[in-house]
Amino acid sequence: MSNFILRKQPNEIVPCSIDFKLRIPTGETISAGTSTVTVTDSGGTDKTTDMTVGSFAISGTVLSVVLKAGTNLLNYTVTFKAVTTPAAYKFEDEVLLEIRETP
């Protein structure tokens, strides 16, 4: 698990991204066809469809997604899996997403 933590309120819609710049070798690019971004709850249930707006985006070495919804006081894991081309290297990182309603 990464050290990245993102906290949002249930009604907020916010961007979330990971930059793999320091890990991807020169000459490699992130492949849109094989890379993924998923959201799971603490029990491992896939919540990607419920908690993302559209699909993820790639900009250079950055994977990004827009997050929505979530249940107050629950935590989720946003998993970014970058697969490169042409060598098909695989890199993975996570963001802990905390849902906290502010009074």
pLDDT digits (tens, 9 = 90+) for 50-79: 999 999 999 999 999 999 999 999 999 999
pLDDT at residue 1, as a whole number = 46
The CATH number covering residue 37 comes to: 2.60.40.1220
For residues 77-102, one letter each, b for 16 or more C-beta atoms within 10 angstroms of the residue's C-beta and e for the rest, the string is: bbbbbbbbeeeebebebbbebebeee
pLDDT at 2: 58
Query: According to the model, what pLDDT value does residue 3 have?
Result: 72
Q: What residues form DSSP beta bridges with 59?
A: 62
Q: Which residues of the chain have pLDDT under 70?
A: 1-2
66: domain range? 4-99
Residue 10 DSSP SS3 = coil
Q: Which helix (H) or strand (E) holds 99?
A: strand 90-99
Q: How many domains does the chain have?
A: 1
How long a stretch of residues is the chain?
103
